[in-house]
Structure 1
Amino acid sequence: MVELFWTEKAKQSLHEIHAYIAQHNPTAAKSVVKSISKKARLLTQFPELGAVYPDIATREIRIIYYTHYRIAYLIVNEERIDILGVFHGAMELRKYLQ
């Protein structure tokens, strides 16, 4: 089974998502972050679940979706996947994944 590693940028993304939602609904914030993490854990069994993000030619970054959030990840090798970040659908990914 593949192991997931959350980069500091990805951890910060989750923290910011939680903080933003928690301003209005702390319970929902916890639920959203938990659900994003659960979706990412699917990658341990299905590493190629996400579509290749074509705008970055230097690495094969893949994207999976949870509601209007995009979870960007990189398959490092057969044993490791790095979660690069969690981004709202309105954000321009190329700016953050270069």
Structure 2
Amino acid sequence: ARILQNFPGFGHKYRTEDEGEVRVLLYGHYRIVYLLRFPEILDILGVFHGALDLDRYIP
């Protein structure tokens, strides 16, 4: 997930919120979900197994 330091917009755009974009980065069997607030500020929302329904955990 170090790629996010240099390329924060690298992940797939999941949806747009008032605070910024919720994005998903695939890493093996897992999905790293993060909120991209500004080009240089991101918050990791969670790391989820690929089989889980993200809508259930990211309201």
Which residue, 42, 47, 50 being the options, matches 2:8? 47
Higher relative contact order (CA 8 A, sep 6+): 1
Aligned to 1:94: 55
Distance in 2, matches of 1:82 and 1:92, equals 20
1:91 is displaced (CA, Å) by: 0.4
Identity %: 49
When Rg is computed on C-alpha atoms for both structures, the one with the higher figure is 1
1:89 is displaced (CA, Å) by: 0.6
Please give the secondary structure, in 1, of the residue aligned with 2:31: strand
Mind listing any 5+ residue stretches in structure 1 that lack a counterpart? 1-39
Q: In proportion to residue count, which structure has more helix?
A: 1
User: How many residues are paired up?
Assistant: 57
Which consecutive aligned stretches of 4+ in structure 1 deviate over 6 angstroms post-superposition?
Answer: none
2:33 alignment partner AA: A
Which residue, 60, 67, 76 being the options, matches 2:28? 67
Write the deviation string for residues 38-82 of structure 1: whole angstroms up to 9, x where unpaired. Answer: xx221110011001114xx53521001111100001112233110
Please give the secondary structure, in 2, of the residue aligned with 1:90: coil
Greater displacement, 58-67 / 40-49: 58-67
Q: CA RMSD in A?
A: 1.4
Distance in 2, matches of 1:44 and 1:78, equals 10
Q: In proportion to residue count, which structure has more strand?
A: 2
Given the two structures, how large is their TM-score scaled by the length of structure 2?
0.83
